[in-house]
A and B are shown apart, each in its own frame.
Chain A
Amino acid sequence: SQQGEEDPQALSIQEGENATMNCSYKTSINNLQWYRQNSGRGLVHLILIRSNEREKHSGRLRVTLDTSKKSSSLLITASRAADTASYFCATVIQGAQKLVFGQGTRLTINP
C-alpha cells in the first residue's frame, strides 16, 4: 500500500485563491518531499522538509509537517493558472533509501 495518502484527490479553485493539500503517512520518516507533475511531463521537486522541521517556505509555497500526526500540508498562496498540475508527497522512510509516493492531488486553477 502507499506510504503517503494525499487529500483531496482533486481540487478546483479560482485563480488568486489559496490551495491546500494534505498528506498522511504511516511510518517514521527522515524527510518528506513535495513534487509537482504537469500533464505529460515528469515530476519536479518543489520542497523538502526534514523530520525535525515543522514549517518551511519557498516563494508562494508553505509546507508544514506534524510528525506526531504523521501528516504534512502544502499551501500554495495566490494561485495562478500555471499552478494547474498534480501534486505528490513523497516520504523517505527511516532505514530505507528510496522515496515512496502518494497517489497525488490533481489541482485545477480556473481563470
Chain B
Amino acid sequence: DAGVIQSPRHEVTEMGQEVTLRCKPISGHDYLFWYRQTMMRGLELLIYFNNNVPIDDSGMPEDRFSAKMPNASFSTLKIQPSEPRDSAVYFCASSLAAGTGDNQPQHFGDGTRLSIL
C-alpha cells in the first residue's frame, strides 16, 4: 500500500519567494496533519484537517503560512513570502482518527527539507 506521499523531497529557494509543499494522504484516512521539525524546536504541529476541513491552525506561525485541502487526496502548505527562519523539515501525516477515543496512530511521509537562502 502506498504511504503518505510528499513532494518535493528537497526545496532550496531564496527568501521572499513563494514555497508550496504538497501532500497525498493514505486513501481512506480522514485526518491530515502538517508538522515542522527543527533542531531547536523539535516537532511542532502546524495545522490539522478532518474530512478536508481545517480544525486547529493554532500552530501556524504567522500569516505567511497557509494550508488547504481541496479534496480528500491532496493538501498543500504554502509559505509566502518565505524567510530563512522557515528552513526546516516539513512533514505531512494522516490517520483514521485524531487519536483520542479511537486511539489511531499517525502515518508520516518522508518530509520536505526546505532551505531558504
> Which A residues have a C-beta under 8 Å from some C-beta of B?
2, 30-31, 33, 40-45, 48, 50, 88, 92, 94, 96-104
Residues on the A chain within 8 Å of B42, using CB: 2, 101-104
> Which B residues have a C-beta under 8 Å from some C-beta of A?
4, 33, 42-43, 45, 48, 55-56, 91, 93, 98-101, 103, 105-111
A-side interface mostly: strand
B99 touches A33 (CB 8 A): yes
B103 touches A97 (CB 8 A): no
B105 touches A30 (CB 8 A): no
**Selected contact of B99 from candidates A31, A43, A103, CB within 8 Å:** A31
Return the chain A residue nearest B107 by Cβ. A45
Shortest Cβ gap from A47 to chain B (Å): 9
B56 touches A97 (CB 8 A): yes
B100 touches A92 (CB 8 A): yes
Residues on the B chain within 8 Å of A31, using CB: 99, 103
A42 touches B91 (CB 8 A): yes
Residues on the A chain within 8 Å of B98, using CB: 92, 97-98
A97 touches B108 (CB 8 A): no
**Selected contact of B105 from candidates A33, A98, A103, A104, CB within 8 Å:** A33
